[in-house]
């Protein structure tokens, strides 16, 4: 008896079939194969090689091996199996994440071109002869003689070169070869980066680097949390650690929350490794399918040895991985909000364990999950408590907006007197400022001051958002658009006013209050054009803009030496959402945003406007006191048994039919309750905070357990035993971060 293989067929239906392996075919898990399927042929991925049993009938044989090398490494297969169990999702959906569509699809094969290569330098006699008798051949040979390496793409030799090339190839003067060309995503005129030199490290940095290097020596390195205040030189530590790994011939994976929002981190890696820039791959989300295919294969072959990318880059098929860095590990963008709902940081830690490589998680405001892991000894803690450039932390002032609102007699106060004065001062001194607006909590709705009517989305249970530039109301959940009513749809009053405010409103107010300032706004609306963000940030950097107004988007790793003032307009918005992490997020936001001030030689100041000045997340952020904040927040989490003291998952049922969604979830609730494993706490079936979205009603059930596996396997087994109505979608989200 030989061996069989279990194949996951490409396609939406998650089919898995066994096939026999033809004699002499070397098939391993992770290989791509062509298989017979009914009367047709299909492609798939080998999940496992299994001992053939006697089934009483013969299995069909594989048709062909598409690539002799497995496309998924053994470690990544293991990671995939773990994900499938942990997140209770089909293995096929995981494999889809592991192997991007562009790599699986056969249409995106490598791009090739024909190149003429000079075999031997022609002598003068030959050239003379050709010049007279075959001018075309003469021209081609002279071009090649002067070309670098005696090579030129055939396409560059002009039309009708074919005959001349043939004539030259025959006597052996040149050869025409086919070679793969890389679709270089950086090729379109990006400026050369200057090589940067390693900085002499300060003491805490040196200790951190030593600890990382030491962990690389171990067979089972412990994950390390690098807690460093903003500007403490974490990136310099990453760069020097990466250099050591490269020097030892191994590879480095760097995860960032989002490429377009962390241009400076990417640039610093490119600058430090400029001498080997061909070996640095940046996995942007806007790569074309062909570019993605090429980059993926470059990585797999070990041609790209440093990979920088967002969440999904955690699956980059780097061979010989020596180090994984997860920058800004607390960022929510690491959690995927579609199946498989994995957390990039957690998968990175797992992958590192399977690879036996070092993993460093860095942040100024670590997630409490990671913090907790340093307390229990699962992770090691490395700290950088001072700014590297010797600057002190910016001074943070808190302005009580309840007082300001009184001054404005009930109207919405956008700009406190303190913040306005601080802005004027910066303008006089020729310094720059960033104004930050927290937009969580759906502000900027249209509300009638007479009857209180709020314009709602007809498909989602949220207020529509007013967009000034195109005079429209837009739903931020489903994109539904409506015209702005001239009178209140409820009471017909014409004085319907703008309730709340957004970045557009702020921009308008600012232009009135500070007419001399050059103001620009960065948010998702203003940034729809390609490169708009990059251009805007460059304009700000070269001081063509005085004041930059933005949302969360600008809270990440930006670094502008001339920015000495950061204003947070409405620090509380994030506090009023039904989520136990609301306080943690507010603390992170204020700390991160404050970190944008005073990054150069000038001292920075931060002004936080809030209606709840005494909330701990605001007070501890004001004092740059992560330990203090974490201490009191952990007490609260422990008391209520919230993460990180438990794992929390959400089961959601969605349907166009309200009753069906509710009933389905209630049925699941009942089944989950039967044989409930000990240690699992089950909540009640409740309407989601966002009760309707995209025309679908949503109900949810929150559950918690000490061990994640206990939860997943219980839910998985109940879901497998329950047949769901066709018009109801059930989604399980392990370690959920979003409870709306």
The residues of the shown chain that bind ligand ADP, judged by CB under 6 A, are 199-202, 205, 228, 230-236, 388-389
Please answer whether residues 259 and 315 qualify as being in contact, where contact means their C-beta atoms are separated by less than 8 angstroms.
no
User: Footprint of Zn ion on residues 90-129 (CB under 5 A)?
Assistant: none
Q: Is 463 in the site for Zn ion (CB under 5 A)?
A: no
CB of 281 to ligand ADP, least distance (A): 21
CB of 328 to ligand ADP, least distance (A): 9
Which of the choices Zn ion, ligand ADP, none does residue 475 contact, using the CB cut-off of 5 to 8 A by kind?
A: Zn ion
- Select from 65, 460, 608, 736 the one that contacts Zn ion (CB under 5 A): 460
Which span sits near Zn ion by CB under 5 A: 116-124, 414-422, 427-435, 473-481?
Answer: 473-481
Closer CB to ligand ADP, 232 or 564, in the complex: 232
If residue 246 lies in a helix (H) or strand (E), which one and from where to where?
Answer: helix 234-247
The span from the CA of 694 to the CA of 688, in Å, is: 14
Is the link from the previous residue into 340 a cis peptide, with omega within 30 of 0? yes
The span from the CA of 195 to the CA of 198, in Å, is: 10
Which of the choices Zn ion, ligand ADP, none does residue 201 contact, using the CB cut-off of 5 to 8 A by kind?
A: ligand ADP
Please answer whether residues 246 and 252 qualify as being in contact, where contact means their C-beta atoms are separated by less than 8 angstroms.
yes
The span from the CA of 464 to the CA of 476, in Å, is: 7
Closer CB to ligand ADP, 189 or 200, in the complex: 200
Residues whose CB falls within 8 Å of the CB of residue 500, separated by 6 or more in sequence, listed in order: 412, 443, 444, 445
Which of the choices ligand ADP, Zn ion, none does residue 432 contact, using the CB cut-off of 5 to 8 A by kind?
A: none
Which of the choices ligand ADP, Zn ion, none does residue 480 contact, using the CB cut-off of 5 to 8 A by kind?
A: Zn ion
Q: Measured on CA atoms in the order 296, 300, 306, 308, is the torsion positive or negative?
A: positive
Residues whose CB falls within 8 Å of the CB of residue 631, separated by 6 or more in sequence, listed in order: none
Which of the choices ligand ADP, Zn ion, none does residue 573 contact, using the CB cut-off of 5 to 8 A by kind?
A: none
Q: Is 706 in the site for Zn ion (CB under 5 A)?
A: no
Mode of pairing for the β-strands spanning 696-705 and 647-655:
antiparallel
Burial bucket for residue 377 (CB in 10 Å: 0-12, 13-18, 19+) = exposed
CB of 34 to ligand ADP, least distance (A): 48
Which of the choices ligand ADP, Zn ion, none does residue 308 contact, using the CB cut-off of 5 to 8 A by kind?
A: none
The span from the CA of 349 to the CA of 360, in Å, is: 9
3-state secondary structure 66-93: CCCCCCCCHHHHHHHHHHHHHCCCCHHH
Closer CB to Zn ion, 472 or 480, in the complex: 480
Q: Is 446 in the site for Zn ion (CB under 5 A)?
A: no
CB of 351 to ligand ADP, least distance (A): 23
Closer CB to ligand ADP, 205 or 588, in the complex: 205
Which of the choices Zn ion, ligand ADP, none does residue 227 contact, using the CB cut-off of 5 to 8 A by kind?
A: none
Closer CB to ligand ADP, 225 or 526, in the complex: 225
Supply the DSSP string of 7-64, one letter for each residue. Answer: EEESSTT--EEEEEPPTT----TT-EEEEEETTEEEEEEEEEEEE----SSPPPBP-E
Cα angle at 88 between 87 and 93, to 5 degrees?
Answer: 85
Closer CB to Zn ion, 477 or 711, in the complex: 477
CB of 422 to ligand ADP, least distance (A): 24
Nearest to 194 by CA among 111, 277, 117: 277
CB of 678 to Zn ion, least distance (A): 42
Closer CB to ligand ADP, 363 or 438, in the complex: 363
Please answer whether residues 334 and 344 qualify as being in contact, where contact means their C-beta atoms are separated by less than 8 angstroms.
yes
Q: Is 478 in the site for Zn ion (CB under 5 A)?
A: yes
Burial bucket for residue 591 (CB in 10 Å: 0-12, 13-18, 19+) = buried
Which of the choices ligand ADP, Zn ion, none does residue 230 contact, using the CB cut-off of 5 to 8 A by kind?
A: ligand ADP
Residues whose CB falls within 8 Å of the CB of residue 455, separated by 6 or more in sequence, listed in order: 445, 446, 447, 463, 464, 473, 482, 485, 489
Q: Is 459 in the site for Zn ion (CB under 5 A)?
A: yes
Closer CB to ligand ADP, 205 or 215, in the complex: 205
Which of the choices Zn ion, ligand ADP, none does residue 234 contact, using the CB cut-off of 5 to 8 A by kind?
A: ligand ADP
CB of 376 to ligand ADP, least distance (A): 25
CB of 609 to ligand ADP, least distance (A): 25
Number of residues that bind Zn ion (CB under 5 A): 7
380 to 128, 134, 383: CA distances (angstroms): 74, 73, 10
Closer CB to Zn ion, 130 or 462, in the complex: 462
Closer CB to Zn ion, 427 or 478, in the complex: 478
Which of the choices Zn ion, ligand ADP, none does residue 231 contact, using the CB cut-off of 5 to 8 A by kind?
A: ligand ADP
Which of the choices Zn ion, ligand ADP, none does residue 15 contact, using the CB cut-off of 5 to 8 A by kind?
A: none
Closer CB to ligand ADP, 185 or 233, in the complex: 233
The span from the CA of 260 to the CA of 267, in Å, is: 11
Which of the choices ligand ADP, Zn ion, none does residue 233 contact, using the CB cut-off of 5 to 8 A by kind?
A: ligand ADP
Residue 401, φ and ψ in degrees, nearest 5:
-75, -15
Closer CB to ligand ADP, 5 or 229, in the complex: 229
CB of 393 to ligand ADP, least distance (A): 12
Q: Is 457 in the site for Zn ion (CB under 5 A)?
A: yes
Closer CB to Zn ion, 478 or 731, in the complex: 478
Q: Is 480 in the site for Zn ion (CB under 5 A)?
A: yes
The span from the CA of 697 to the CA of 692, in Å, is: 4
- Select from 72, 168, 282, 475 the one that contacts Zn ion (CB under 5 A): 475
The span from the CA of 212 to the CA of 200, in Å, is: 17
Which of the choices ligand ADP, Zn ion, none does residue 389 contact, using the CB cut-off of 5 to 8 A by kind?
A: ligand ADP
As a whole number of Å, the CA-based R_g of the chain is 30
Task: Indicate the DSSP class of residue 201.
Answer: P
Which of the choices ligand ADP, Zn ion, none does residue 459 contact, using the CB cut-off of 5 to 8 A by kind?
A: Zn ion
Cα angle at 224 between 222 and 228, to 5 degrees?
Answer: 170
Task: Indicate the DSSP class of residue 335.
Answer: B
Which span sits near Zn ion by CB under 5 A: 368-376, 423-431, 480-488, 707-715?
Answer: 480-488
Q: Is 563 in the site for Zn ion (CB under 5 A)?
A: no
CB atoms within 10 A of CB 152: 20
Q: In what order do the strands lie in the sheet with 395-400?
A: 395-400, 605-610, 563-568, 432-436, 547-550, 519-522
Closer CB to Zn ion, 246 or 477, in the complex: 477
Q: Residues in the site for Zn ion, rule: CB under 5 A?
A: 457, 459-460, 475, 477-478, 480
């Amino acid at each position: 008896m030989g061996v069989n293989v279990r194949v996951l067929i490409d396609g939406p239906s998650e089919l898995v079939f066994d096939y026999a392996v033809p004699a002499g075919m070397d098939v391993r898990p992770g290989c791509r194969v062509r298989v017979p399927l009914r009367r047709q042929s299909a492609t798939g991925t080998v999940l496992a090689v299994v001992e053939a049993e006697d089934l009483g009938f013969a299995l069909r044989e594989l048709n062909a091996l598409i690539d002799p090398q497995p496309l998924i490494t053994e470690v990544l297969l293991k990671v995939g199996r773990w994900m499938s169990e942990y997140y209770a999702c089909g293995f096929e959906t995981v494999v889809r994440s592991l192997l991007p569509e562009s790599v699986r699809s056969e249409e995106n094969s490598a791009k090739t071109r024909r190149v003429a290569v000079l075999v031997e330098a022609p002598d003068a006699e030959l050239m003379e002869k050709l010049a007279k008798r075959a001018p075309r051949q003469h021209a081609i040979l002279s071009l090649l003689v002067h070309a670098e390496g005696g090579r030129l793409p055939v396409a560059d030799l002009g039309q009708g070169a074919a005959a001349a090339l043939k004539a030259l190839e025959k006597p052996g003067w040149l050869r025409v070869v086919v070679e793969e060309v890389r679709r270089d995503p950086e090729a379109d005129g990006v400026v050369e980066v200057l090589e940067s030199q390693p900085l002499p490290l300060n003491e805490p940095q040196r200790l951190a680097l030593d600890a990382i290097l030491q962990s690389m020596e171990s067979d089972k390195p412990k994950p390390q949390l690098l807690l460093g205040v903003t500007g403490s030189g974490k990136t310099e530590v990453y760069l020097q650690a990466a250099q050591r790994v490269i020097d030892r011939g191994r590879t480095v994976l760097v995860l960032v929350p989002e490429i377009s929002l962390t241009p400076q981190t990417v640039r610093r890696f490119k600058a430090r490794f400029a001498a080997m820039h061909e070996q640095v791959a940046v996995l942007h989300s806007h790569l074309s399918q062909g570019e993605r295919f090429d980059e993926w294969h470059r990585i797999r072959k070990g041609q790209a040895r440093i990979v920088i990318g967002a969440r999904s880059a955690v699956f980059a098929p780097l061979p010989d991985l020596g180090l994984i860095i997860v920058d800004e590990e607390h960022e929510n963008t690491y959690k995927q909000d579609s199946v498989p709902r994995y957390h990039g940081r957690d998968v990175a830690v797992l992958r590192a364990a399977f690879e036996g490589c070092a993993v460093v998680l860095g942040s100024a405001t670590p997630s409490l999950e990671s913090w907790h892991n340093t307390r229990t000894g699962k992770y090691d803690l490395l700290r950088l408590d001072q700014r590297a450039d010797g600057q002190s932390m910016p001074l943070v002032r808190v302005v009580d907006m309840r007082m300001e609102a009184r001054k404005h007699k009930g109207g919405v106060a956008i700009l406190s007197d303190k913040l306005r004065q601080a802005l004027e001062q910066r303008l006089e001194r020729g310094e720059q400022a960033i104004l930050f607006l927290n937009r969580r909590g759906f502000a900027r709705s249209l509300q009638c001051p007479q009857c209180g009517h709020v314009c709602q989305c007809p498909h989602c249970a949220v207020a529509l958002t007013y967009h000034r530039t195109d005079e429209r109301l837009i739903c931020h959940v489903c994109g539904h658009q409506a015209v702005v009513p001239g009178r209140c749809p409820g009471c017909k009053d014409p004085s319907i006013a703008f309730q709340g405010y957004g970045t557009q409103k702020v921009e308008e107010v600012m232009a009135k209050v500070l007419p001399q300032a050059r103001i620009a706004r960065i948010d998702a609306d203003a940034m729809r054009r390609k490169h708009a963000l990059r251009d805007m940030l460059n304009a700000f950097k070269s001081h063509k803009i005085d004041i930059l107004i933005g949302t969360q988007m600008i809270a990440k790793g930006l670094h502008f030496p001339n920015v000495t003032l950061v204003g947070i307009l409405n620090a509380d918005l994030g506090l009023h959402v039904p989520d136990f992490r609301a306080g943690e997020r507010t603390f992170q936001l204020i700390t991160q945003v404050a970190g944008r001030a005073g990054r150069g030689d000038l001292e920075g100041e931060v002004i936080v406007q809030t209606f709840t000045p005494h909330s701990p997340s605001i007070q501890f952020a004001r004092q740059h006191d992560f330990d203090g904040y974490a201490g009191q927040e952990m007490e609260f989490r422990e008391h209520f048994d919230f993460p990180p003291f438990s794992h929390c998952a959400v089961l959601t049922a969605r349907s166009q039919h309200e009753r069906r969604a509710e009933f389905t979830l209630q049925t699941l609730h009942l089944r989950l309750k039967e044989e409930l494993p000990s240690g699992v706490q089950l909540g009640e079936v409740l309407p989601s905070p966002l009760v309707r979205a995209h025309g679908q009603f949503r109900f949810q059930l929150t559950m918690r357990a000490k061990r994640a596996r206990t939860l997943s396997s219980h839910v998985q087994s109940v879901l497998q035993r329950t047949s769901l109505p066709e018009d109801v979608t059930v989604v399980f989200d392990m370690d959920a971060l979003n409870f709306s």
